[in-house]
Amino acid sequence: MFDSLSEKLQNVFMRLRGKGRVTEADVNEAVREVRLALLEADVSLPVVRDFIGRIREKALGVEVLESLQPWQQVIDIVYKEMVALLGQQQAPLNVASTPPTIVMLCGLQGTGKTTLAAKLGTFLKKQGHRPLLVACDIYRPAAIKQLQVLGEQAELPVYALPEDQRKGPPTIARMAVEYARQHANDFVILDTAGRLAIDDELMDELGQMRAFVQPHEVILVVDAMVGQDAVNFAEQFHKRLALTGFVMTKLDGDTRGGAALSIRAVTGVPIKFIGTGEKLDAFEPFYPDRMAQRILGM
């Protein structure tokens, strides 16, 4: 989509060689290129501003050496800063001291929550756990059936109430946790309906679910193709639910996934996993360095 950032910075600094110290004008030009690259990668504007502020400061100190090109040094600063912001290390799942560990999934419509429930279940099962999937989406047509079909594919049990037993999602979640205790399921994965962060009623419902079952993980499931709005809804979800982590899905496409940086920056909450396809094994731990390279198009 854009020529690699390093190429552009190379051009900026080309005429600089041997001029001594990098001037403020050179840095400004370099910073403009970084800004453009981040915006093209869907990093939210306020986060971009903050990020390039830091880069600018560090880049001003760079000396022009014959051995190391200034553009290489700037790229290095940008890359390291981004990895640091993305969380440096891999963040593991929080686990209950007394099982079951309860994982609540939430997010906007169509981001991949139901698929993720089955992927996470598959991942945990491979590690020898006994996860239970729970159908708390009572709204979307065939949402329960979707989780049941995925549960069957993954050979995982699915807790769902029959249609005639109408209960609210927080109550379903509580009943499922009770069921898990009785059936020795050490993980409970709650699939919830997609919702907008500005939908007060449905956000309250999640708040109540959180209060009812006190999950060890409250994970925001985010579509990696998301744009500038990421900061808005992530902040809202975090404010109302105190998120413990998030997951980026659909990273198998050609999106840069700059929202990872935005969300991490506004919530301070770690990215735990990524989704890389529709199949149940298309699920990986999150690596900050790989994500930084992707966002920067390296």
Partner 1 sequence: GGGRGVDEELYEELEASLIQADINVQTTQRLIGALRRAVEEEGIRSIQQAVEALKREMVAILEVGDPSTMGLKEASLPPTLYLVVGVNGVGKTTTIAKIAHMLQSRGKRVILAAGDTFRAAAIDQLAEWAQRTGTDLVRHREGADPSAVIYDAIRAARARSVDYVIADTAGRLHTRSNLMEELRKIHRVAERELERVPDEVLLVLDATTGQNAISQAKLFMKYIPITGIVLTKLDGTARGGIVLSIADDLKLPIKLVGTGERLEALEEFNARRFVDRLLEV
114 binds Mg ion (CB under 5 A): yes
Largest CA distance in the chain: 78
Alpha carbon distance 283, 122 (integer Å): 9
6 binds ligand GTP (CB under 6 A): no
CA-wise closest residue to 266 among 33, 43, 38: 43
Distance in Å, CB of 143 to Mg ion, minimum: 5
Nearer to ligand GTP, 195 or 238 (CB): 195
Query: Which of the residues 213 through 242 are near K ion (CB under 5 A)?
Result: 223
**Three-state secondary-structure class, residue 187:** strand
Please give the single-letter amino acid code of residue 259: A
Stretch of 40-48, 111-119, 205-213, 233-241 lying at the interface with ligand GTP (CB under 6 A): 111-119
223 binds, among ligand GTP, K ion, Mg ion, none (CB under 5 to 8 A by kind): K ion
Among 159, 275, 295, 296, binds ligand GTP (CB under 6 A): 275
CB 64 within 8 A of CB 70: yes
Among 29, 81, 229, 284, binds partner 1 (CB under 8 A): 229
Residue 214 backbone dihedrals phi, psi, to 5 degrees? 45, 70
Among 73, 122, 267, 276, binds ligand GTP (CB under 6 A): 276
DSSP letter at 132 equals E
Alpha carbon distance 150, 152 (integer Å): 5
The count of residues interacting with Mg ion (CB under 5 A) is: 2
233 binds partner 1 (CB under 8 A): yes
Give the x-and-dash track for 59-98 against partner 1 (CB under 8 A): ----------------------------------------
β-strand partners of 189: 103, 133
Alpha carbon distance 132, 5 (integer Å): 45
Query: Which of the residues 74 through 113 are near K ion (CB under 5 A)?
Result: 110
CB 30 within 8 A of CB 13: yes
Please give the single-letter amino acid code of residue 152: E
Query: Which of the residues 109 through 148 are near partner 1 (CB under 8 A)?
Result: 109-112, 139-143, 145-146, 148
Give residues with Cβ within 8 angstroms of 225, minimum separation 6: 42, 250, 253, 255
Binding residues for K ion (CB under 5 A)? 110, 223
Residues of this chain that bind ligand GTP (CB under 6 A): 107, 109-115, 137, 140, 143, 193-194, 196, 249-250, 252, 275-278, 282
